[in-house]
Amino acid sequence: MAYLDFSGLSRFWNNAKTFINAKNIVIRDQLRAEVEAVSGGRNTVVRDSDGNPHIMCVIPRFRLEDIDASLGSGNHPAFVAGSTVKSELLIGKYEASKSAQNKV
């Protein structure tokens, strides 16, 4: 039986609970656990609407001055969505679904 927790998502889904948000049901599975373990958390798995797995690189948030002080300071724009600052980005490691119905 799955445990439902409506309070939110953990950073890398480090437990065996099922989390529900407004758009998706995110379920911890064996493949995700293995990918995260062997990559030291640098990769994870995201599934499309048909359940197909896609390996994603986890890019932790960094600041402009971490790259080059001449770029200025503050969060890199890739991590800012409106007024929200994201803690990481997920970038596809391999080509993902091509189907318009199965976008990741």
In the chain, domain spans = 4-95
Q: How does residue 24 score in pLDDT terms, banded at 50, 70 and 90?
A: low
Q: Report the candidate in 80, 48, 51 with the shortest Cα–Cα distance to residue 63.
A: 80
C-beta separation of 76 from 67 below 8 A? yes
Angle, CA 19 vertex, CA 103 and CA 29 arms, to 5° = 70
| pLDDT of 26 | 57
Mean pLDDT of all residues belonging to the chain: 76
Q: Is the pTM of this model over 0.95?
A: no
C-alpha–C-alpha distance, residues 25 and 4, integer Å: 10
pLDDT tens digit sequence for 68-97: 999 999 999 999 999 999 999 999 998 766
The per-residue pLDDT for range 52-71, each reduced to its tens digit, is 889 999 999 999 999 999 99
% of the chain residues with pLDDT over 90: 52
Residue 1 has pLDDT above 60, yes or no: no
